[in-house]
Amino acid sequence: TEDITERKKAEEQIHNLAFFDPLTKLPNRRLLNDRLIQVMAASKRSGCYAALMLLDLDNFKPVNDMHGHNAGDMLLVEVADRLKRCVRETDTIARFGGDEFVVLVSELDTGKAHSMAQAGTVAEKIRATLAKPYFLRLKQEANAETTVEHHCTSSIGVVLFLANDTTKEDMLKW
């Protein structure tokens, strides 16, 4: 049974490396692609719109430049945690790379105007949540800690879609 336990652990580790960002533990591009295909299929069946949001952090580079990559990593982890609090469990948040994130909001309304309003509400909630100050606890020499306050806003692009409207490649370009 020890061999089986070790093998299962190794399989789980391989799965996590293949589908999740190691830093934020969010889905990566590969898993996002899979979820996008699922949401498009669900949209086709239900006639409900969905929204794809691409987020870019506006003031990320200065934290890396002034305090090092460890501080930047801490900021990215905090952004991921904040994003999780802004959407439903059925929605997908993925780290797209660097300081870019994608939010996939499924099962909106069947009406375009109402779906746009719903997506706008989610985007505004994300914008406001990410704009709040970040307090990063950094280790200094001799294990002393210091807290750095950093302000970071986000730019958000939103595309609303029905499954039959487009391809996933086009959506990501938009």
Set 58, 65, 81, 99: catalytic member? 99
| Euclidean distance between CA atoms 87 and 104, whole angstroms | 9
91 is catalytic: no
Q: Are 43 and 49 in contact (CB under 8 A)?
A: yes
In single-letter form, the type of residue at position 112 comes to K
Tokens representing 45 are: 């069946």
In single-letter form, the type of residue at position 81 comes to D
- Bridge partners of 103, per DSSP, are 53, 93
CA atoms within 13 A on the CB side of 64: 11
Tokens representing 51 are: 């929204």
For residue 173, the surrounding DSSP H or E stretch is helix 168-173
What positions carry a catalytic annotation? Answer: 99
